């Protein structure tokens, strides 16, 4: 089986575009527009190219106001935040970055940003934290994969809510109190080493990650996994003198509220009511599971798949075949 090719492959030129072809295409579109039909366009424009190729060339290179060159820190931040929220929906991400194309962002992510962030993440990993239970690792990795990787097939089927620039929770040792933490790309972590993402004000978010070794005054410790949508508050303030304190609270869909507070002394060390086990432990090696296994594991993450309260839901990938099921996406010409 197979489908008819979009053009006569024998008679179309492939490979890099010549300046002549570029100017032909540009001139034609500027004069006539695309005519709503890319397949017919190359013939009309006198180009021996596939319509899709023309479209790509126009959208990614010739279109006016295309921005090339280095990505700024702000752009890094937006890409990281959106990737963590919606995964590799490059066209959606590109829509938030005027002048950038999905292809550009995809390339940038794959070649630079991902490595940059992974490097940071692995350098922050502490040896003693490499004792995590396998099940938790698996769940969290799968959670991340399912939310971030379209090929694993979890999709938002409702419009994604407005996404503010995401802020990351500052490490507890950092002087992040009294000022709103401004995130640089170096504090955003992703993928298997993903830790926390935190918006600076109240709102709704999805948190990937977990806390571990949460010590309390009676010496007990607990381990908490997150992989849930939740409402949250995040505040940082000062509690007199040089003392610094802050808190954050999470409201889970089930109505359970959890509040974390911390208190740091000014000069001589600090005290936290709960330890933030911010560094994550993940398997470096990719794990591969079939969909049934993934489903089972995700099913064990409470509250994960039932997010309708928040206008977000997750599709079964088996029905969509893996791509293009982002229902709210608009067509861009």
Partner DNA sequence: AACGGCGCCAACCGCCACCGC
Partner DNA sequence: CGCGGTGGCGGTTGGCGCCGT
Give residues in contact with DNA (CB under 7 A). 2-4, 6, 9, 13-17, 34, 36-40, 50-53, 55-57, 60-61, 68, 88-92, 102-104, 106-108, 110-112, 115, 149-151, 320-327, 329-333
Q: Of 67 and 295, which CB lies nearer to DNA in the complex structure?
A: 67
For the bound state, the minimum distance from the C-beta of residue 117 to DNA, rounded and expressed in Å, comes to 13
CB-based burial label for 77 (10 Å; 0-12, 13-18, 19+): buried
219 vs 319, beta carbon nearer DNA: 319
Least CB distance to DNA at residue 245 (A): 41
How many whole angstroms from its chain centre is CA 312?
15
Q: What's the rounded Cα separation, in Å, for the pair 309 and 161?
A: 12
Measured from the CB atom, is 34 or 132 closer to DNA? 34
The nearest distance, CB 305 to DNA, in angstroms, is 19
In the numeric block, which tokens belong to residue 22? Answer: 């570029």
Distance CA 226, CA 64 (A): 43
Q: How far is the CB of 321 from DNA (least distance, A)?
A: 2
In the complex, minimum distance from the CB of residue 223 to DNA, in angstroms, rounded to a whole number? 31
- Supply the minimum distance, in Å, between the C-beta of residue 298 and DNA: 18
Work out whether strand 221-238 and strand 244-251 pair parallel, antiparallel, or are unpaired: antiparallel
Cβ distance to DNA smaller for residue 88 or 279: 88
Output 14 or 128, the one with its CB closest to DNA: 14
On the CB side of 36, CA atoms within 13 Å amount to 0
User: In the complex, what is the shortest distance from the CB of residue 332 to DNA, in angstroms, rounded to a whole number?
Assistant: 5
Least distance CB 329 / DNA (angstroms): 5
Residue placing its CB nearer to DNA in the complex, 4 or 134: 4
Q: Which is nearer to DNA, 57 or 77 (CB)?
A: 57
Q: What's the sign of the alpha-carbon dihedral 124, 125, 127, 128?
A: positive
Minimum distance from CB of 136 to DNA (Å)? Answer: 25
Q: Which is nearer to DNA, 82 or 169 (CB)?
A: 82
The residues facing 221 across adjacent strands are 215
Which tokens in the block code for residue 51?
């319509």
Residue with smaller CB distance to DNA, 299 or 322: 322
Going by C-alpha positions, the residue among 133, 136, 246 that lies closest to residue 198 is: 246
Given a contact cutoff of 8 angstroms between Cβ atoms, the answer to whether 328 and 89 are in contact is: no
- Cα-based angle 275, 279, 285 (whole degrees, multiple of 5): 150
């Amino acid at each position: 089986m197979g489908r008819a090719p979009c053009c006569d492959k024998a008679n179309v030129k492939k490979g890099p575009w010549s300046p002549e072809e570029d100017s032909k295409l540009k001139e034609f579109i500027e004069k006539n527009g695309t005519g709503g039909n890319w397949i017919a366009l190359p013939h009309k424009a006198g180009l021996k190219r596939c319509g899709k190729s023309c479209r790509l060339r126009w959208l990614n290179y010739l279109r006016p106001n295309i921005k090339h060159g280095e990505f700024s820190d702000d752009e890094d931040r937006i890409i990281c935040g959106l990737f963590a929220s919606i995964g590799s929906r490059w066209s959606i991400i590109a829509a938030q970055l005027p002048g950038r194309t999905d292809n550009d962002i995809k390339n940038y992510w794959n070649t630079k940003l991902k490595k940059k962030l992974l490097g940071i993440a692995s350098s922050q990993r502490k040896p003693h934290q490499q004792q995590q239970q396998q099940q938790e690792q698996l769940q969290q990795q799968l959670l991340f994969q399912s939310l971030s990787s379209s090929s694993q097939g979890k999709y938002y089927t409702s419009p994604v809510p407005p996404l503010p620039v995401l802020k990351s929770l500052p490490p507890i040792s950092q002087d992040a109190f009294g000022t709103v933490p401004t995130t640089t790309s170096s504090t955003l972590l992703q993928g298997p080493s993903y830790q926390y993402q935190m918006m600076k004000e109240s709102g709704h978010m999805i948190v990937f990650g977990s806390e571990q070794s949460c010590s309390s005054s009676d010496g007990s410790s607990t381990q908490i996994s997150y992989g849930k949508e939740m409402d949250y508050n995040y505040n940082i303030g000062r509690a007199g003198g040089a003392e610094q304190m802050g808190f954050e609270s999470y409201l889970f869909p089930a109505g359970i509220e959890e509040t974390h507070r911390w208190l740091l002394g000014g000069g001589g060390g600090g005290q936290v009511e709960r330890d933030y086990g911010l560094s994550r432990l993940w398997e470096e090696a990719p794990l591969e599971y079939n969909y049934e296994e993934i489903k089972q594991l995700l099913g064990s993450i409470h509250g994960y798949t039932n997010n309708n309260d928040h206008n977000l839901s997750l599709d079964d990938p088996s029905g969509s075949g893996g791509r293009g099921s982002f229902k709210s996406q608009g067509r861009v010409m």
